[in-house]
Structure 1
Amino acid sequence: MSQHVVFSLPETAQLWVAKLALTFHKVNERTTLAHRQHWGPVRIQKMLWPEATGVCHVILVHPPAGIAGGDHLSFDIRCIQSAHAVVTTPGAGKWYKTNQKKAYQFINLHVQENSILEWLPQETMLFNGAHAHTKTTLHLDQHAGCILWDMLVIGRQARHETFETGQYHSEMVIQRDNQLLLHDVLHFVGHDRFLNSSLGMNGHAVLGSFFAVAPNGLRNLEQLDHDIDQMRDLITRMQVPVQITRLNELISARYLGDDVRQCHDAFAALRAKCRQMWWQLDEAFPRIWRT
């Protein structure tokens, strides 16, 4: 049965704290919530079951629609007992100008046993003057599978805004059975050489990262290389600036360009391909993406 518990207020808080913890499990061939906790303005907007296989689609909402100076958001998402959850957001996230105050976001994902998690937030916009610190940590059991992505838009493109002041620090850590698969760090400050260097953003405004871990029985390296060939063929037909590689048993794709919709569509196509190859599932795009 779903539980709804409120976090207690931290004793020493100079920050605006918001927390959300969710645990998904599988009951009678359908994934549902086993546990829910929240404190502050983060909620589940809606849970849907659009797939015949009982996969649970969840929309997370942060009503302020962005992260301001002094904010401290944390998410703890767990899939247990062969659950399969698809988690997304209703729209673009935002890191607002903070007037030198730091803002934080921590995302902890745990995928246990034979479970599957798809962590698919929509893009995040980094405003000029933001001081943003974010870390995503994914813990996988040996038999678990996962698809996740992150899309960063630097500056408000409609205003031709660039990142002149502030700081951005992002980490992505992926572990399986306490073995490190990936530790990806991105750090830059306002007017950083990285933003225009050919070894960095090269003047582009959108950077996307896509990661996928196949289920245990499909991690043969030759099989993964064959899967990547199919994914590359798909990207070639779409004619988008995405590069795909394999880091041992982890599949990684990167987008570098200026069109976040193009990035989203490319990653959605890669996700659909992984679902079909590994779990024999249809693409089943979250409905919120079409609104």
Structure 2
Amino acid sequence: MFVNALPFDGAPALRQRAAGRVSFAAAALDGRTRPMRIEESGSMRIRLPKGEGAGLDAVLVNTAGGIACGDRFSVEVEAQAEASVTVSTPAAEKVYRSDGPVSNLSVKLTAGAGGRLEWLPQETILFDNARLDRKLEAAMAADASLTLLEAVVFGREARAEHVVDGLFIDRWRIRRGSRLVYADTLWLDGPIADLLRKPSIGNGARAFATLIHAAPDAEARLESVREQLSPGHCCDAAASAWNGLLAVRFCAVTIEALRAAICPFLVTFRAEPLPRVWLS
């Protein structure tokens, strides 16, 4: 006679999912930008490497090592009046396969009067059957400067990674004062590879980046930006400007081609070297 010593009730196993939150604020004091508030929880951390300039560099670190089914992260960054903050990450963020649950990433940015806030994380790499819902909300004063860059890669060709299916929702909202001045939503659900092959969506590209610059001088910079975006064989790019905003889009087949385009562009556009963690 056999006895089942380990009863099984058929319920799915509970997963240990990651969650993390960072809330950070910086202010201008004595001609330099200094941290005023740092709150951390879970697997999200923020580090402030020493720099020689008047601005402050902040580096977000996900100690979970990536994002997977059902993980939840939130980031809040505030550059108060006259403060200058650049936020980056030490490596690409990887979003792994999910068997159903959707991961969530929420980013809230605030730039006060005369403030300068740059959101410059390294690229997000999605694997096959990854499921991510990302939301970026920014609020800025009328005379503030806000620069946002996000790069997304659907599998790395050099490592034979191919994204066939998945879910990627990416929502951006920017408010100047109390007025909504920019809204953009990307929603790819299901056969992502087939969708990206369509000429109206990706035309075969698998690596994309969007830069939004919102500032009093945004529209005046359009022609100089277009001169930087000379046609290349590896990465297509275009720029437009309206309503105090400058938008630049990049698309390429590989992550290497994308980085080869956006890295020199950022150096010229910002008139500063890349964040140091981009080069580590």
- Answer yes or no: same fold by TM over 0.5: yes
Matches within 5 A, 1:230-249: 230-236=224-230, 240-249=235-244
Contact 2:18–2:64 under 8 Å retained in 1 = no
Contact 1:171–1:185 under 8 Å retained in 2 = yes
Q: Which residue of 2 aligns with 1:197?
A: 198
Q: Which residue of 1 aligns with 2:258?
A: 263
Q: For residues 240-266 of structure 1, what are the alpha-carbon distances to aligned partners after superposition, in whole Å with 9 as ceiling and x for unaligned?
A: 411011132110000111233443343
After TM superposition, give the deviation of residue 16 of structure 1 in Å. Answer: 3.6
Q: Which residue of 1 aligns with 2:276?
A: 287
After TM superposition, give the deviation of residue 44 of structure 1 in Å. Answer: 1.8
Distance 1:147 1:270 in 2: 13
Contact 2:157–2:254 under 8 Å retained in 1 = no
Distance 1:159 1:261 in 2: 12
After TM superposition, give the deviation of residue 60 of structure 1 in Å. Answer: 1.1
Q: Which residue of 2 aligns with 1:43?
A: 45
Distance 1:141 1:126 in 2: 34
CA 37–203 in structure 1, closer or farther in 2 if over 3 Å, else same: same
Give the letter aligned to residue 127 of structure 1: F
Runs of 5+ in structure 1 lacking a partner?
1-13, 276-281
Give the letter aligned to residue 32 of structure 1: R
Matches within 5 A, 1:200-219: 200-214=201-215, 216=216, 218=217
When normalised by structure 2's length, the TM-score is 0.87
Q: Which residue of 2 aligns with 1:134?
A: 134
Distance 1:173 1:65 in 2: 27
Q: Which residue of 2 aligns with 1:113?
A: 113
Contact 1:100–1:166 under 8 Å retained in 2 = no
Aligned residue for 1:242, secondary structure, equals strand
Distance 2:32 2:124 in 1: 31
Q: Which residue of 1 aligns with 2:8?
A: none
Give % identity. 24
Distance 1:40 1:262 in 2: 35
Alignment match of 1:25 (pick from 5, 24, 27)? 27
Distance 2:259 2:146 in 1: 18
Give the letter aligned to residue 286 of structure 1: P
Contact 1:204–1:257 under 8 Å retained in 2 = yes
- Name which one, 1 or 2, has greater alpha-carbon Rg: 2
Contact 1:79–1:117 under 8 Å retained in 2 = yes
Give the letter aligned to residue 211 of structure 1: I
Runs of 5+ in structure 2 lacking a partner?
1-15
Q: For residues 210-266 of structure 1, what are the alpha-carbon distances to aligned partners after superposition, in whole Å with 9 as ceiling and x for unaligned?
A: 11012x3x36xxxx24x2111111221876411011132110000111233443343
Q: For residues 169-220 of structure 1, what are the alpha-carbon distances to aligned partners after superposition, in whole Å with 9 as ceiling and x for unaligned?
A: 1111111112122111111123244211000011211011011012x3x36x
Give the letter aligned to residue 40 of structure 2: H
Distance 2:157 2:273 in 1: 30
Higher mean displacement: 40-49 or 165-174? 40-49
Higher mean displacement: 189-198 or 166-175? 189-198
Contact 1:50–1:57 under 8 Å retained in 2 = no
Give the letter aligned to residue 203 of structure 1: G
Distance 1:89 1:228 in 2: 27
Q: Which residue of 2 aligns with 1:11?
A: none
Distance 2:254 2:162 in 1: 15
Q: Which residue of 2 aligns with 1:123?
A: 123
Q: For residues 56-106 of structure 1, what are the alpha-carbon distances to aligned partners after superposition, in whole Å with 9 as ceiling and x for unaligned?
A: 112111012211111110000001021101110000001111111110000
Matches within 5 A, 1:44-83: 44-51=46-53, 54-83=54-83
Give the letter aligned to residue 43 of structure 1: R
Contact 1:151–1:260 under 8 Å retained in 2 = no
Contact 2:266–2:274 under 8 Å retained in 1 = no
Distance 1:272 1:201 in 2: 26
Q: Which residue of 2 aligns with 1:7?
A: none
- Does 2:146 align with 1:146? yes
Distance 2:128 2:154 in 1: 8
After TM superposition, give the deviation of residue 120 of structure 1 in Å. Answer: 0.2
Distance 1:43 1:34 in 2: 16
